[in-house]
Amino acid sequence: MTARGTPSRFLQSVLHNGVGRYVCQLKRISLIFSKKGQGSLGVRDFIEEGVVDFAKNNPGTVVYISPQSCRIPKIVAEYLNGNVKEETVTNKASQEIAELITKLSNQSGLDIIRIRKPFHTDSPSIQGQWHPFTNRPPRLCIVFIL
């Protein structure tokens, strides 16, 4: 689709994150997998090896492990601004799942759509926005009505 048909947004940061303290925007991450399915093999390996380290490194994120009888294993990431992102991880290796989880933890919750401008400022004008009467001597604005 064209850029006009797909959604777009302006560049923004969530509450000027990073100017002061950096707050990890990932609120909750849930690993949904099955205990005996073939597709969840990578997830199960990841849970054995990497999940605990990930949880220790990101103290601000809550990690939920929920084994259910499901055909496709999923990772559901919820962010502080309310966005929920679901990724299916069937037949993925443990390493790939680890990379995916670090990517999700580095993202802010903003939508991944076309960004209209790669810049944004809260103060677009320092000396004042131009209008037709800037730099005009006030004498010229007198009109003699005949």
Partner 1 sequence: MTCALPKKTQSQWATFARSWFLIDARMQPPGKIASMCSVRLQGKHKPIYHPLSDIGDHVVVMNTRHIAFSGNKWEQKVYSSHTGYPGSFKQLTAAQMHKKDPTAIIKLAVYGMLPKNLTRRTMMQRLHLFPDDVLPEDILKNLTEELPQPREIPRKLSEYTQEERNAFPMLWTPPEDYRMK
Q: Which residues of the chain form contacts with partner 1 (CB under 8 A)?
A: 124-125, 128-132, 136, 140-146
28 Rama class: left (phi>0) / alpha (psi -120 to 50) / beta = beta
Q: How far is it, in rounded angstroms, from Cα 24 to Cα 108? A: 8
Q: How far is it, in rounded angstroms, from Cα 68 to Cα 5? A: 38
Q: How far is it, in rounded angstroms, from Cα 8 to Cα 100? A: 24
Neighbours of 89 (CB within 10 A): 22
- Report whether 42 contacts 92 (CB < 8 A): yes
| Among candidate residues 90, 84, 97, 85, the one with its CA nearest the CA of residue 51 | 97
